[in-house]
Amino acid sequence: MSNVPLLDRESLLPVRQQLLDGVSMPAGAAHGIGASWARTRSLGLAPGLCAADAVLDAAALRALRAENERLIAFALPEVENLHQQIAGTNSAVLLADSQGVILERQGDPGFRERSRQVALSPGACWGESARGTNAIGLALAEGRSASVHGPEHYLECNTFLTCAAAPIHDPRGQILGLLDVSGDQPARQLHALGLVRMGARMIENRILLADFPDGVYVHFHARPELLGTLGEGIVAVDADGRILAMNEVARSHFGAVDQAMQFETLFDSSLEALLRVRSNSTRVRTTNGITVCVRLTRPRAKSPITAASAGRTAEHDFSELHAGDANVLHAARRASRVFNQGIPVLIEGETGSGKEWLAQSLHSQSPRSAGPLVTVNCAAIPEGLVESELFGHVPGAFTGANPKGAPGRILEADGGTLFLDEIGDMPLALQTRLLRVLQERTVLPVGGGVPREVDFTLISATNRDLGKMVESGDFRADLYYRICGLPVSLPALRDRDDLAGLIERFVAGEDPSAEITPSAWRCLLNHSWPGNLRELHNTLRTALALRDPGAPISEAELPDTLSAPQCAPAMVPEGTTMVDHQTGLRGAEERCMEEAIAAHGGNYSAAARALGISRSTLYRRLGRLR
């Protein structure tokens, strides 16, 4: 049998035909693919079958997602990150459970319709028994990462796909699920297999580091500079030195986890001796003769979850952040799901778009809500004081220092949440120190002293493009990947569907009796709001203060920037015949909207629902017509 992979249809078609004719393993069949074809044929699947079945209904999919909630929470950041890396390649990133059923999908819109034709979507099972040879099914059947390209797929309907999948293992090596990249490509994506392997390893490491909060984690690598990377081995050990679990790198060194394994069976040093070492890392030899650099970490036990906080961690509507915008709700729920698992969240958005409000909401709905939320605006602290502000200082560390010393904002967040706003403005030198804190979970104050352990979850926010800053060297790449467990993008106010609802809610909250004139509504709804929510709230607060008591908010109370030509009726060029707006399509549209409003007693929300449009769309259309 040839071990040369078969990458073209001309080579594969005769081999496929031989298999279908009953040849057990034809000469030239690619290793793995040929075996999968043979398994598929033995299951009775015909190549012409269009396997559109084997798809769960909505209720069954919800139940399956609930069973795999922890896997989804830890995997979502990598699904999102991987999708960003392959965006624009007509592909999708998939997360499947241990049986090959797709749980989550993030993909390019142009690929969505064609992928639906073969049920490459949540709820569909892609095990070999259901879909024949494919990357998910092959990786699951053989317990290894796999790629399947074009005509290597057994079912003819799937041959337009190119796929790569990698298993996700639990800390004891059992398969929890699979990470997959599938696309509609004329050529195999050679990098896709490497991307899903790295993504799966990151998910596995996150799960491992969360599973044993009372244990000790042994990080090791032959090269000290590679500690903290995906190449490091990680071994979880209990207080008595018993081996609890390992990541894949460690298992490749030491083999599968054995319940009888002790620390001394892996390393030629005792756990007690290494715990007494004060340096960040030290060199030891493994029992199989390899010298490695070792660093120990001791995660603090998780904060207890009270009944009240447990209730707040359930699916939440985040009503304080939106007034019906589906994109904001979707972003907030995804952020909450991963943040509640201790995964750092990076909130991106324009100034005033609500980043701080989302951070406050994530904290208040998390298991750490009983702990402090410490907010640090990295752009507002004088550069000379940033270090002591974040990391604290010992007494007399510098001129003007507090004679009693200070703990620093990071230590103040112990047991709670640290929110680093405008993190893109943090100086490079401070980025290095912050990275060390995130890696080692200890804080060394300015001026020396004893490092202190600290336990917090992290939220960062920025209105800058950190990806471009990494490329230009203005932001550390290793820090970026530490803080960006899940990137969450908040839309600008001009791109949201709930502007009218936000205006109504804010005004009603300040003065339930206040009304807004139609001309003021047009100005508010037509403005581009470059300052986003902050500008909107300041504008409405000022307008309420300026209006006469009991009078509605009119255009006169709005800033000049909102009384610009964009709020005025459109100018008609000379020579153009004016058509009565009660005739033609515009007149019919206006009459339809006014009749709906009248039929619902002036309730714009109910009228919009009856018309099948959003409330803000109703306001905008009326504003343009009048």
Amino acid at 315: E
> What mean pLDDT do residues 188-197 have?
82
Q: For residue 86, what pLDDT band results from cuts at 50, 70 and 90?
A: confident
Banded model confidence at residue 620, pLDDT cuts 50, 70, 90: low
Closest CA to 599 of 591, 608, 607, 589: 607
**Which of 187, 191, 169 is CA-nearest to residue 179?**
169
Strands (E), 469-529: 486-489
Look at residue 13 in the predicted model and tell me its pLDDT: 67
Q: How confident is the model at residue 390 (pLDDT cuts 50, 70, 90)?
A: confident
Q: Check if the beta carbon of residue 394 is closer than 8 Å to that of residue 447.
A: yes
Taking the C-alpha atoms of residue 597 and residue 544, their distance in angstroms, rounded to an integer, is: 26
Separation of first and last alpha carbons in the chain: 77
Q: Distance from CA of residue 264 to its chain's centroid?
A: 39
pLDDT band at 569 (very low <50, low <70, confident <90, very high): very low
Beta bridge partners, 93, equal: 106, 181
What is the rounded average pLDDT of the residues 411-416? 91
Average pLDDT rounded to a whole number, residues 9-27:
62
From 136, 116, 118, 115, select the one nearest 127 (Cα to Cα): 136
Q: Which domains does the chain have, with CATH numbers?
A: 58-203 (3.30.450.40), 212-297 (no CATH), 313-491 (3.40.50.300), 495-625 (1.10.8.60)
SS3 218: strand
Q: What is the pLDDT of residues 224-265, one digit of tens each?
A: 888 888 889 999 999 888 999 999 999 988 887 777 789 998
Name the band, by pLDDT with cuts 50, 70 and 90, for residue 4.
Answer: very low
The identity of residue 287, as a single letter, is: T
How far apart, in whole angstroms, are the C-alpha atoms of residue 121 and residue 117? 10
Average pLDDT over residues 532-538: 91
Across the range 539-544, mean pLDDT stands at 92
- Label residue 310 exposed, middle or buried (CB < 10 Å: 0-12, 13-18, 19+): exposed
Q: In the structure, what pLDDT confidence band is assigned to residue 384 with cuts at 50, 70 and 90? A: low
d(CA 228, CA 295): 9
Give the whole-number percent of the chain exceeding pLDDT 90. Answer: 31
| 173-182, 189-198, 345-354: least confident range | 189-198
* Secondary structure (DSSP) of 388-413: HHHH-B-TTSSTT--TT-B--HHHHT
CB 366 within 8 A of CB 336: yes
Proportion of the chain above pLDDT 70, given as a percent: 79
Burial of 187 from C-beta contacts in 10 A (0-12 / 13-18 / 19+): exposed
Residue 211 has pLDDT above 90, yes or no: no
The predicted structure's pLDDT at residue 497: 86
Helix (H, G, I), strand (E, B) or coil at 110: helix
Side chain identity at residue 509, one-letter code: G
Q: Which of 47-56, 155-164, 221-230, 410-419 has the lowest mean pLDDT?
A: 47-56
- 417-421/243-246 β-pairing: unpaired
Give residue 624's pLDDT. 44
pLDDT tens per residue across span 348-369: 999 999 999 999 999 988 888 8
Are the C-beta atoms of 421 and 354 separated by less than 8 Å?
no
- Work out the pLDDT band at 154, boundaries 50, 70, 90: confident
Rounded to whole angstroms, the Cα distance separating 333 from 221 reads 37
Residue range 439-491, pLDDT digits in tens: 888 888 877 777 888 889 999 999 999 989 998 999 998 899 889 989 999 99
Q: Are strands 282-285 and 216-221 parallel, antiparallel or unpaired?
A: unpaired
When the pLDDT of each residue in the chain is averaged and rounded to a whole number, the result is 81
The yes-or-no verdict on residue 24 having pLDDT over 70 is no
Query: Would you call 97 helix, strand, or coil by DSSP?
Result: strand
More reliable by pLDDT, 125 or 306 = 125
In sign, the C-alpha dihedral spanning 3, 9, 10, 12 is positive
Residue 564's pLDDT band (boundaries 50, 70, 90)?
very low
List residues bridging with 516 in a β-sheet. 553
Q: What is the pLDDT of residue 389?
A: 79
Instruction: Could you list the beta-strand ranges (E) of 407-490.
Output: 417-421, 442-443, 452-453, 457-462, 486-489
